[in-house]
Amino acid sequence: MKHYGQACAIARALDVIGERWNLLIVRELTLGPRRYRHLAAGLPGIPSNVLAARLKDLQAAGVITRLALPAPADVTVYELTDAGRALQPALHELLHWGLRYTPEPSGDDAAQPGWGLLAAAGRATALPAGQTCELRVGPERFYLGSDAGTLTVRRGPAPDGDAVVTMPADTLFSLLTGQMTVTDAVRHATVDGGTEIARRALEPLAAAGAKPAPSPPSKPARI
């Protein structure tokens, strides 16, 4: 890792997570542990040797850890440590700050469902505690639940979920960017189980990734 050599907490933080790709690796692990190949797929454009080096650096810094899951999974995954999870409020603020710089999507932009769902995590939800919904977008599965009235999002299925929503990726992105309402999104999706539960689970997603309206110009001070 490169170091700024400054006795400043901000500089020290950037020593650890300021290197190119590091924060995006943390982003990829925010919704749960991931295998190396899934991390690579979630970071389009990263060379394999760079990913390996960044993972090694983040492990050495105590931000992530590598562990072997027992049988029947029997695979090695990377996950956030307590220090890595402590970055979540800062990552959340950075996400919403960055929405003001979001350009109109182009055909060259990579887009993945998990990236958009990060903007919805933590929003207020009417989904009762204990009720869950599984969101399926292409091959990906996401668990949607409630924790103290806020939306919880994790990668993976929702075992014994109260509803399962299968939705095309373009419908999800239209919902997240505010181009489609929850009612329209449900109409373009397939819902198995409780439709009202599905609606409540999807409501926090509406316009979660929309670009904020520009602030009105400030009035000149009176002299």
pLDDT per residue rounded down to tens, the chain (223 residues): 788 999 999 999 999 999 999 999 999 999 999 999 999 999 999 999 999 999 999 999 999 999 998 877 789 999 999 999 999 999 999 999 999 887 665 666 788 999 999 999 999 999 999 999 999 999 999 999 999 999 999 999 999 999 999 999 999 999 999 999 999 999 999 999 999 999 999 999 999 999 887 766 666 656 5
Positions of E strands within 69-139: 76-80, 133-137
Q: Could you tell me the two tokens for 115?
A: 């990236």
Q: What are phi and psi of 149, to 5 degrees?
A: 80, 10
Which helix H or strand E contains 66, and what residues bound it? strand 64-68
Q: What's the one-letter identity of residue 100?
A: R
Residues 6 or more apart whose CB falls under 8 angstroms from that of 168 comprise: 137, 188, 189
Residues 6 or more apart whose CB falls under 8 angstroms from that of 143 comprise: 132, 134, 152, 153, 154, 155, 156, 157, 158, 161
Reported pTM: 0.90
Q: What's the one-letter identity of residue 167?
A: M
In whole angstroms, give the CA distance from residue 110 to residue 199.
Answer: 27
How far CA 87 is from CA of 78, 92, 142, 188, in Å, comes to 16, 9, 21, 35
